[in-house]
Chain A
Protein backbone atom coordinates (compact mmCIF):
# COMPACT_ATOMS: atom_id res chain seq x y z
CA UNK A 1 0.00 0.00 0.00
CA UNK A 2 2.71 2.47 -0.97
CA UNK A 3 1.68 6.09 -0.90
CA UNK A 4 2.64 8.33 -3.75
CA UNK A 5 5.20 10.86 -2.62
CA UNK A 6 4.02 14.30 -1.76
CA UNK A 7 7.54 15.50 -1.32
CA UNK A 8 7.82 17.05 -4.72
CA UNK A 9 4.46 18.80 -4.59
CA UNK A 10 4.05 22.05 -2.72
CA UNK A 11 2.10 21.83 0.55
CA UNK A 12 -1.32 23.42 0.42
CA UNK A 13 -1.32 26.17 3.02
CA UNK A 14 -4.11 28.18 4.64
CA UNK A 15 -4.11 31.22 6.83
CA UNK A 16 -5.57 30.75 10.26
CA UNK A 17 -6.06 32.86 13.33
CA UNK A 18 -6.32 31.07 16.65
CA UNK A 19 -6.27 32.40 20.16
CA UNK A 20 -3.98 30.16 22.15
CA UNK A 21 -3.70 30.62 25.89
CA UNK A 22 -5.10 34.11 25.51
CA UNK A 23 -2.70 35.11 22.78
CA UNK A 24 -3.86 35.72 19.20
CA UNK A 25 -1.75 33.68 16.79
CA UNK A 26 -1.76 34.17 13.04
CA UNK A 27 -0.10 31.51 10.96
CA UNK A 28 0.07 29.98 7.54
CA UNK A 29 -0.37 26.27 8.13
CA UNK A 30 -0.38 23.18 5.93
CA UNK A 31 -4.00 22.06 5.66
CA UNK A 32 -2.95 18.56 6.61
CA UNK A 33 -1.28 19.67 9.81
CA UNK A 34 -2.98 18.36 12.94
CA UNK A 35 -3.76 20.82 15.70
CA UNK A 36 -1.46 18.96 18.09
CA UNK A 37 1.48 19.47 15.72
CA UNK A 38 0.55 23.12 15.27
CA UNK A 39 0.68 23.58 19.04
CA UNK A 40 3.87 21.60 19.56
CA UNK A 41 5.94 22.35 16.49
CA UNK A 42 4.69 25.66 15.17
CA UNK A 43 3.95 27.38 18.47
CA UNK A 44 6.54 25.48 20.52
CA UNK A 45 4.02 24.55 23.22
CA UNK A 46 5.41 21.13 24.01
CA UNK A 47 3.31 20.41 27.03
CA UNK A 48 0.64 18.72 24.91
CA UNK A 49 1.78 15.19 24.12
CA UNK A 50 1.16 12.45 21.59
CA UNK A 51 0.65 8.91 22.86
CA UNK A 52 -1.06 7.06 20.03
CA UNK A 53 -2.13 7.38 16.41
CA UNK A 54 -5.78 6.41 16.64
CA UNK A 55 -7.35 9.01 18.88
CA UNK A 56 -7.63 6.71 21.89
CA UNK A 57 -5.17 7.92 24.51
CA UNK A 58 -6.12 11.53 25.23
CA UNK A 59 -2.56 12.70 25.91
CA UNK A 60 -3.21 15.45 23.37
CA UNK A 61 -6.30 16.82 25.15
CA UNK A 62 -6.65 20.61 25.07
CA UNK A 63 -9.64 22.87 25.71
CA UNK A 64 -11.18 24.40 22.60
CA UNK A 65 -14.00 26.91 23.02
CA UNK A 66 -14.59 25.59 26.51
CA UNK A 67 -14.69 21.90 25.67
CA UNK A 68 -12.02 19.26 26.09
CA UNK A 69 -11.06 17.86 22.70
CA UNK A 70 -8.31 15.60 21.43
CA UNK A 71 -6.05 17.87 19.43
CA UNK A 72 -4.79 14.93 17.36
CA UNK A 73 -8.27 14.61 15.89
CA UNK A 74 -8.54 18.21 14.72
CA UNK A 75 -6.83 19.87 11.84
CA UNK A 76 -5.10 23.11 12.69
CA UNK A 77 -7.34 24.78 10.10
CA UNK A 78 -10.38 23.65 12.05
CA UNK A 79 -9.15 25.71 14.99
CA UNK A 80 -9.37 28.87 12.93
CA UNK A 81 -11.28 31.51 14.86
CA UNK A 82 -11.40 29.43 17.99
CA UNK A 83 -9.92 29.72 21.47
CA UNK A 84 -7.58 27.00 22.57
CA UNK A 85 -6.12 26.45 26.02
CA UNK A 86 -3.24 24.12 26.69
CA UNK A 87 -1.57 23.00 29.92
CA UNK A 88 0.71 26.01 29.73
CA UNK A 89 -2.29 28.20 30.51
CA UNK A 90 -2.82 26.72 33.96
CA UNK A 91 0.18 28.37 35.56
CA UNK A 92 3.15 30.09 34.02
CA UNK A 93 6.85 29.30 34.27
CA UNK A 94 8.07 29.93 37.78
CA UNK A 95 4.56 30.54 39.10
CA UNK A 96 2.97 28.46 41.83
CA UNK A 97 0.72 25.66 40.68
CA UNK A 98 -2.96 26.32 40.20
CA UNK A 99 -5.37 24.58 42.50
CA UNK A 100 -5.86 21.55 40.28
CA UNK A 101 -2.13 21.11 39.76
CA UNK A 102 -1.64 21.38 43.52
CA UNK A 103 -4.10 18.56 44.11
CA UNK A 104 -2.20 16.40 41.64
CA UNK A 105 0.95 16.77 43.70
CA UNK A 106 -0.83 16.33 47.00
CA UNK A 107 -2.36 13.07 45.85
CA UNK A 108 0.63 11.85 43.80
CA UNK A 109 -1.54 11.77 40.71
CA UNK A 110 1.36 11.65 38.28
CA UNK A 111 4.45 9.52 37.84
CA UNK A 112 6.10 9.88 34.45
CA UNK A 113 4.01 12.96 33.66
CA UNK A 114 3.40 12.12 30.02
CA UNK A 115 -0.40 11.80 30.28
CA UNK A 116 -0.63 14.57 32.86
CA UNK A 117 -1.21 17.62 30.68
CA UNK A 118 -4.07 15.78 28.97
CA UNK A 119 -5.59 14.84 32.33
CA UNK A 120 -5.22 18.37 33.65
CA UNK A 121 -7.08 19.82 30.68
CA UNK A 122 -9.78 17.12 30.80
CA UNK A 123 -10.26 17.68 34.50
CA UNK A 124 -10.30 21.44 34.06
CA UNK A 125 -13.00 21.19 31.42
CA UNK A 126 -14.94 18.72 33.55
CA UNK A 127 -14.90 20.99 36.57
CA UNK A 128 -15.60 24.13 34.54
CA UNK A 129 -18.58 22.46 32.88
CA UNK A 130 -20.48 22.98 36.10
CA UNK A 131 -21.85 19.45 36.01
CA UNK A 132 -22.82 17.87 39.30
CA UNK A 133 -19.86 15.62 40.03
CA UNK A 134 -19.31 12.60 42.19
CA UNK A 135 -16.77 9.78 42.14
CA UNK A 136 -18.55 7.84 39.40
CA UNK A 137 -19.08 10.78 37.11
CA UNK A 138 -15.46 11.83 37.57
CA UNK A 139 -14.19 8.35 36.74
CA UNK A 140 -16.44 8.13 33.72
CA UNK A 141 -15.58 11.67 32.74
CA UNK A 142 -11.89 10.80 32.59
CA UNK A 143 -12.50 7.81 30.33
CA UNK A 144 -10.93 9.56 27.37
CA UNK A 145 -7.51 9.84 29.03
CA UNK A 146 -5.21 6.88 29.43
CA UNK A 147 -2.55 6.58 32.11
CA UNK A 148 -0.21 3.60 32.35
CA UNK A 149 1.70 4.58 35.48
CA UNK A 150 -0.72 5.59 38.21
CA UNK A 151 -3.57 3.12 37.88
CA UNK A 152 -5.85 6.22 37.96
CA UNK A 153 -6.69 5.92 41.68
CA UNK A 154 -4.76 9.00 42.77
CA UNK A 155 -5.90 10.98 39.75
CA UNK A 156 -9.48 10.39 40.85
CA UNK A 157 -8.64 11.52 44.39
CA UNK A 158 -6.98 14.67 43.06
CA UNK A 159 -9.86 15.62 40.80
CA UNK A 160 -12.35 14.88 43.60
CA UNK A 161 -10.56 17.33 45.82
CA UNK A 162 -10.26 19.95 43.10
CA UNK A 163 -13.95 19.57 42.31
CA UNK A 164 -14.94 19.82 45.95
CA UNK A 165 -16.34 16.30 45.97
CA UNK A 166 -16.30 14.51 49.27
CA UNK A 167 -14.35 11.28 48.95
CA UNK A 168 -16.43 8.22 49.90
CA UNK A 169 -13.60 7.13 52.16
CA UNK A 170 -14.37 10.11 54.36
CA UNK A 171 -12.58 13.34 55.18
CA UNK A 172 -10.19 12.05 57.81
CA UNK A 173 -8.04 9.78 55.70
CA UNK A 174 -8.41 8.08 52.44
CA UNK A 175 -8.92 4.38 52.17
CA UNK A 176 -7.94 2.08 54.92
CA UNK A 177 -4.61 1.29 56.27
CA UNK A 178 -2.48 4.16 55.06
Chain B
Protein backbone atom coordinates (compact mmCIF):
# COMPACT_ATOMS: atom_id res chain seq x y z
CA UNK B 1 0.00 0.00 0.00
CA UNK B 2 2.90 2.19 -0.78
CA UNK B 3 3.19 4.08 -3.99
CA UNK B 4 6.01 3.99 -6.50
CA UNK B 5 7.87 7.24 -7.05
CA UNK B 6 6.56 9.94 -9.33
CA UNK B 7 6.72 13.70 -9.80
CA UNK B 8 3.75 15.84 -8.85
CA UNK B 9 2.56 19.10 -10.29
CA UNK B 10 -0.41 21.27 -9.43
CA UNK B 11 -0.92 23.60 -12.39
CA UNK B 12 -2.84 26.81 -11.92
CA UNK B 13 -4.59 26.80 -15.26
CA UNK B 14 -5.89 24.39 -17.84
CA UNK B 15 -3.23 25.60 -20.29
CA UNK B 16 -0.52 24.78 -17.83
CA UNK B 17 -2.09 21.39 -17.15
CA UNK B 18 -2.17 20.54 -20.82
CA UNK B 19 1.41 21.67 -21.29
CA UNK B 20 2.51 19.43 -18.44
CA UNK B 21 0.59 16.47 -19.79
CA UNK B 22 2.17 16.99 -23.20
CA UNK B 23 5.66 17.40 -21.76
CA UNK B 24 5.94 13.99 -20.16
CA UNK B 25 5.15 10.83 -22.07
CA UNK B 26 4.05 8.99 -18.98
CA UNK B 27 1.99 11.69 -17.30
CA UNK B 28 -1.40 11.00 -15.76
CA UNK B 29 -4.20 13.27 -14.67
CA UNK B 30 -4.92 13.27 -10.95
CA UNK B 31 -8.43 14.48 -10.23
CA UNK B 32 -10.21 12.59 -7.48
CA UNK B 33 -7.62 9.86 -7.28
CA UNK B 34 -10.27 7.36 -6.21
CA UNK B 35 -9.09 4.89 -8.81
CA UNK B 36 -5.63 6.12 -9.75
CA UNK B 37 -4.23 6.01 -6.24
CA UNK B 38 -5.41 2.42 -5.79
CA UNK B 39 -3.82 1.49 -9.09
CA UNK B 40 -0.59 3.02 -7.81
CA UNK B 41 -0.80 1.19 -4.48
CA UNK B 42 -1.19 -2.13 -6.23
CA UNK B 43 1.55 -1.18 -8.71
CA UNK B 44 -0.83 -1.50 -11.67
CA UNK B 45 0.25 1.90 -12.96
CA UNK B 46 3.60 3.65 -12.80
CA UNK B 47 3.29 7.19 -14.14
CA UNK B 48 6.29 9.48 -14.03
CA UNK B 49 4.22 12.59 -13.41
CA UNK B 50 0.87 13.26 -11.80
CA UNK B 51 -0.85 16.44 -12.91
CA UNK B 52 -3.30 17.49 -10.22
CA UNK B 53 -6.26 19.26 -11.83
CA UNK B 54 -8.67 18.86 -8.92
CA UNK B 55 -8.60 22.52 -7.90
CA UNK B 56 -8.84 24.17 -11.31
CA UNK B 57 -11.92 26.39 -11.11
CA UNK B 58 -12.49 26.13 -14.84
CA UNK B 59 -13.05 22.40 -14.47
CA UNK B 60 -15.45 22.69 -11.58
CA UNK B 61 -18.37 24.58 -12.95
CA UNK B 62 -21.84 23.38 -13.81
CA UNK B 63 -23.51 25.71 -16.27
CA UNK B 64 -26.52 25.79 -18.54
CA UNK B 65 -25.91 27.11 -22.02
CA UNK B 66 -28.34 29.13 -24.13
CA UNK B 67 -29.48 25.98 -25.91
CA UNK B 68 -30.31 24.36 -22.60
CA UNK B 69 -27.32 22.03 -22.72
CA UNK B 70 -25.69 21.40 -19.40
CA UNK B 71 -21.93 21.76 -19.27
CA UNK B 72 -20.26 19.95 -16.37
CA UNK B 73 -16.61 20.55 -15.60
CA UNK B 74 -14.55 17.38 -15.61
CA UNK B 75 -13.39 17.87 -12.04
CA UNK B 76 -16.85 18.21 -10.54
CA UNK B 77 -17.22 15.59 -7.82
CA UNK B 78 -20.09 13.13 -7.54
CA UNK B 79 -21.71 14.61 -4.47
CA UNK B 80 -21.79 18.05 -6.06
CA UNK B 81 -23.55 16.45 -8.98
CA UNK B 82 -25.91 14.56 -6.68
CA UNK B 83 -27.01 17.80 -5.02
CA UNK B 84 -26.77 20.18 -7.97
CA UNK B 85 -30.08 21.99 -8.51
CA UNK B 86 -29.22 22.41 -12.19
CA UNK B 87 -28.60 18.72 -12.66
CA UNK B 88 -31.77 17.82 -10.81
CA UNK B 89 -33.71 20.17 -13.00
CA UNK B 90 -32.26 19.17 -16.34
CA UNK B 91 -31.06 15.60 -15.84
CA UNK B 92 -32.60 14.15 -12.68
CA UNK B 93 -31.75 10.54 -13.53
CA UNK B 94 -28.08 11.45 -13.72
CA UNK B 95 -28.28 13.29 -10.42
CA UNK B 96 -29.93 10.31 -8.75
CA UNK B 97 -27.30 7.98 -10.14
CA UNK B 98 -24.57 10.14 -8.63
CA UNK B 99 -26.24 9.94 -5.23
CA UNK B 100 -25.68 6.20 -5.20
CA UNK B 101 -22.12 5.98 -6.49
CA UNK B 102 -20.00 3.70 -4.29
CA UNK B 103 -20.11 5.53 -0.94
CA UNK B 104 -20.07 9.00 0.63
CA UNK B 105 -16.31 9.17 0.95
CA UNK B 106 -15.75 8.36 -2.71
CA UNK B 107 -18.49 10.78 -3.72
CA UNK B 108 -16.63 13.55 -1.91
CA UNK B 109 -13.67 13.16 -4.24
CA UNK B 110 -14.47 11.07 -7.31
CA UNK B 111 -15.00 13.15 -10.45
CA UNK B 112 -17.10 12.79 -13.55
CA UNK B 113 -13.98 13.26 -15.65
CA UNK B 114 -12.15 10.48 -13.89
CA UNK B 115 -15.09 8.13 -14.27
CA UNK B 116 -15.45 8.89 -17.98
CA UNK B 117 -11.78 8.60 -18.81
CA UNK B 118 -11.08 5.48 -16.76
CA UNK B 119 -13.33 3.36 -18.96
CA UNK B 120 -13.54 0.43 -16.62
CA UNK B 121 -16.37 -1.84 -17.76
CA UNK B 122 -18.22 -0.93 -14.58
CA UNK B 123 -17.64 2.83 -14.85
CA UNK B 124 -21.04 4.47 -14.42
CA UNK B 125 -20.93 7.48 -16.72
CA UNK B 126 -19.77 6.06 -20.07
CA UNK B 127 -22.94 4.14 -21.00
CA UNK B 128 -25.17 6.91 -19.67
CA UNK B 129 -23.37 9.62 -21.60
CA UNK B 130 -23.49 7.50 -24.74
CA UNK B 131 -27.23 7.09 -24.34
CA UNK B 132 -27.72 10.80 -23.76
CA UNK B 133 -25.72 11.68 -26.83
CA UNK B 134 -23.35 13.69 -24.68
CA UNK B 135 -20.27 15.47 -25.92
CA UNK B 136 -16.84 15.56 -24.39
CA UNK B 137 -14.87 18.78 -24.48
CA UNK B 138 -11.17 18.21 -24.76
CA UNK B 139 -8.30 20.66 -24.56
CA UNK B 140 -5.09 19.90 -26.40
CA UNK B 141 -1.85 21.89 -26.70
CA UNK B 142 -3.07 23.10 -30.08
CA UNK B 143 -6.64 23.95 -29.18
CA UNK B 144 -9.97 22.41 -28.33
CA UNK B 145 -11.97 19.63 -29.80
CA UNK B 146 -15.27 17.93 -29.14
CA UNK B 147 -15.82 14.24 -29.20
CA UNK B 148 -19.07 12.36 -28.96
CA UNK B 149 -19.26 10.33 -25.76
CA UNK B 150 -20.50 7.47 -27.86
CA UNK B 151 -17.49 5.61 -29.18
CA UNK B 152 -15.07 7.44 -26.86
CA UNK B 153 -13.90 4.14 -25.43
CA UNK B 154 -11.90 1.80 -27.65
CA UNK B 155 -11.25 -0.92 -25.10
CA UNK B 156 -11.27 -1.18 -21.32
CA UNK B 157 -9.04 1.61 -19.97
CA UNK B 158 -8.37 2.89 -23.46
CA UNK B 159 -10.08 5.99 -24.80
CA UNK B 160 -9.68 8.37 -27.70
CA UNK B 161 -7.66 10.98 -25.87
CA UNK B 162 -4.25 11.61 -27.35
CA UNK B 163 -1.21 12.08 -25.11
CA UNK B 164 -1.25 15.62 -23.78
CA UNK B 165 -5.02 16.01 -24.00
CA UNK B 166 -7.23 16.84 -21.08
CA UNK B 167 -10.96 16.29 -20.77
CA UNK B 168 -12.30 19.62 -19.55
CA UNK B 169 -16.06 19.21 -19.59
CA UNK B 170 -18.97 16.96 -20.36
CA UNK B 171 -21.89 18.46 -22.24
CA UNK B 172 -25.33 16.97 -21.79
CA UNK B 173 -27.83 18.06 -24.43
CA UNK B 174 -31.11 19.37 -23.10
CA UNK B 175 -33.86 16.80 -22.96
CA UNK B 176 -36.61 17.53 -25.41
CA UNK B 177 -40.27 17.34 -24.52
CA UNK B 178 -41.29 13.71 -24.40
CA UNK B 179 -37.76 12.49 -23.73
CA UNK B 180 -37.06 10.32 -20.74
CA UNK B 181 -33.93 8.68 -19.41
CA UNK B 182 -33.49 5.25 -17.87
CA UNK B 183 -30.47 3.92 -15.97
CA UNK B 184 -30.66 0.39 -14.60
CA UNK B 185 -28.00 -1.66 -12.87
CA UNK B 186 -27.83 -5.14 -11.40
CA UNK B 187 -25.48 -4.94 -8.44
CA UNK B 188 -23.96 -7.37 -6.00
CA UNK B 189 -25.08 -5.25 -3.09
CA UNK B 190 -26.34 -1.75 -2.33
CA UNK B 191 -24.49 0.90 -4.35
CA UNK B 192 -21.84 -1.64 -5.18
CA UNK B 193 -20.21 -3.81 -7.81
CA UNK B 194 -22.17 -3.89 -11.03
CA UNK B 195 -22.78 -7.09 -12.94
CA UNK B 196 -24.97 -5.58 -15.67
CA UNK B 197 -26.06 -2.11 -16.67
CA UNK B 198 -28.08 -0.45 -19.38
CA UNK B 199 -29.01 3.15 -20.17
CA UNK B 200 -31.74 4.46 -22.43
CA UNK B 201 -33.00 7.71 -23.83
CA UNK B 202 -36.50 7.37 -25.18
CA UNK B 203 -38.71 9.91 -26.86
CA UNK B 204 -42.40 9.18 -26.91
CA UNK B 205 -45.43 10.91 -28.11
CA UNK B 206 -47.99 8.22 -27.56
CA UNK B 207 -45.83 5.66 -29.31
CA UNK B 208 -42.08 5.57 -29.08
CA UNK B 209 -40.58 7.98 -31.57
CA UNK B 210 -36.93 7.27 -30.99
CA UNK B 211 -34.70 5.33 -28.65
CA UNK B 212 -31.06 5.17 -27.79
CA UNK B 213 -30.14 2.07 -25.81
CA UNK B 214 -26.62 1.44 -24.53
CA UNK B 215 -25.32 -1.61 -22.72
CA UNK B 216 -22.66 -1.07 -20.06
CA UNK B 217 -20.48 -3.57 -18.19
CA UNK B 218 -19.05 -4.89 -21.41
CA UNK B 219 -15.63 -4.12 -22.79
CA UNK B 220 -16.95 -0.75 -23.98
CA UNK B 221 -20.43 0.84 -23.93
CA UNK B 222 -22.28 -0.32 -27.00
CA UNK B 223 -25.45 0.91 -28.74
CA UNK B 224 -28.19 -1.54 -29.58
CA UNK B 225 -29.50 -0.58 -33.03
CA UNK B 226 -31.67 -3.67 -33.53
CA UNK B 227 -33.45 -3.15 -30.25
CA UNK B 228 -33.78 0.55 -30.95
CA UNK B 229 -35.31 -0.14 -34.36
CA UNK B 230 -37.81 -2.55 -32.86
CA UNK B 231 -38.89 0.07 -30.36
CA UNK B 232 -39.56 2.84 -32.83
CA UNK B 233 -43.26 3.07 -33.51
CA UNK B 234 -44.12 0.62 -30.76
CA UNK B 235 -46.66 1.22 -28.04
CA UNK B 236 -44.72 1.68 -24.86
CA UNK B 237 -45.86 -1.48 -23.10
CA UNK B 238 -43.98 -4.04 -21.07
CA UNK B 239 -44.56 -6.71 -23.69
CA UNK B 240 -43.34 -4.58 -26.57
CA UNK B 241 -40.26 -3.57 -24.66
CA UNK B 242 -39.55 -7.16 -23.64
CA UNK B 243 -39.88 -8.29 -27.23
CA UNK B 244 -37.47 -5.60 -28.38
CA UNK B 245 -35.03 -6.51 -25.63
CA UNK B 246 -34.75 -9.99 -27.10
CA UNK B 247 -32.70 -8.31 -29.82
CA UNK B 248 -30.28 -6.73 -27.35
CA UNK B 249 -26.78 -8.03 -26.90
CA UNK B 250 -25.45 -6.85 -30.25
CA UNK B 251 -21.68 -6.42 -30.31
CA UNK B 252 -21.72 -6.95 -26.60
CA UNK B 253 -18.25 -8.20 -25.64
CA UNK B 254 -18.23 -9.36 -22.10
CA UNK B 255 -15.83 -11.64 -20.29
CA UNK B 256 -16.87 -14.08 -17.61
CA UNK B 257 -14.99 -13.82 -14.39
CA UNK B 258 -15.17 -15.03 -10.82
CA UNK B 259 -18.22 -12.87 -10.15
CA UNK B 260 -20.41 -13.89 -13.07
CA UNK B 261 -20.26 -15.76 -16.35
CA UNK B 262 -20.46 -14.10 -19.74
CA UNK B 263 -23.77 -15.83 -20.41
CA UNK B 264 -25.38 -14.48 -17.25
CA UNK B 265 -24.00 -11.01 -17.80
CA UNK B 266 -25.43 -10.98 -21.29
CA UNK B 267 -28.85 -12.22 -20.17
CA UNK B 268 -28.93 -9.62 -17.44
CA UNK B 269 -27.76 -6.88 -19.79
CA UNK B 270 -30.80 -7.58 -21.93
CA UNK B 271 -33.02 -7.45 -18.88
CA UNK B 272 -31.47 -4.16 -17.78
CA UNK B 273 -32.02 -2.83 -21.29
CA UNK B 274 -35.71 -3.62 -21.04
CA UNK B 275 -35.93 -2.00 -17.63
CA UNK B 276 -34.01 1.08 -18.74
CA UNK B 277 -36.31 1.58 -21.70
CA UNK B 278 -39.36 1.05 -19.51
CA UNK B 279 -38.08 3.62 -17.05
CA UNK B 280 -37.26 6.06 -19.82
CA UNK B 281 -40.66 5.57 -21.44
CA UNK B 282 -42.48 5.96 -18.17
CA UNK B 283 -43.81 2.39 -18.20
CA UNK B 284 -44.04 0.97 -14.71
Residues in A lying within 8 Å of B, measured CB to CB: 1, 3, 6, 9, 11-12, 14, 31-32, 34, 50, 53-55, 58, 61, 64, 67-70, 72-75, 77-78, 122, 125-126, 140-141, 143-145
14 further A-B contacts with Cβ under 8 Å, apart from A58-B105, A69-B105, are: A31-B8, A34-B37, A53-B1, A55-B38, A61-B105, A67-B108, A70-B105, A72-B37, A72-B41, A74-B33, A78-B54, A122-B104, A141-B104, A143-B104
- Which residue in B6, B46, B79, B109 is a CB contact (below 8 Å) of A74? B109
Chain B contributes a number of interface residues (CB within 8 A of A) equal to 33
Q: How far does the alpha carbon of A75 sit from the alpha carbon of B4 in the complex, in Å?
A: 13
The reply on B7 being an interface residue by CB < 8 A is: yes
Contact B1 A144 (CB under 8 A): no
Q: How far does the alpha carbon of A62 sit from the alpha carbon of B40 in the complex, in Å?
A: 21
- Which residue in A32, A50, A68 is a CB contact (below 8 Å) of B104? A68
The reply on B179 being an interface residue by CB < 8 A is: no
- Chain A residue nearest to B100 in the complex (CB): A140
- Chain B residue nearest to A61 in the complex (CB): B105
Contact A73 B33 (CB under 8 A): yes
Contact B1 A50 (CB under 8 A): yes
Contact B52 A78 (CB under 8 A): yes
Contact A75 B33 (CB under 8 A): yes
Residues in B lying within 8 Å of A, measured CB to CB: 1-8, 10, 30, 33-34, 37-38, 40-43, 46, 50, 52, 54, 79, 102-106, 108-109, 190-192
Q: How far does the alpha carbon of A126 sit from the alpha carbon of B37 in the complex, in Å?
A: 25
Contact A68 B5 (CB under 8 A): no
B28 CB to nearest chain A CB (Å): 13
Q: How far does the alpha carbon of A73 sit from the alpha carbon of B109 in the complex, in Å?
A: 9
Q: How far does the alpha carbon of A63 sit from the alpha carbon of B30 in the complex, in Å?
A: 20
Which residues of B have CB within 8 Å of A11? 5
B207 CB to nearest chain A CB (Å): 38
- Which residue in A12, A64, A74, A145 is a CB contact (below 8 Å) of B37? A74
Contact A58 B103 (CB under 8 A): yes
Which residues of A have CB within 8 Å of B6? 12, 31-32
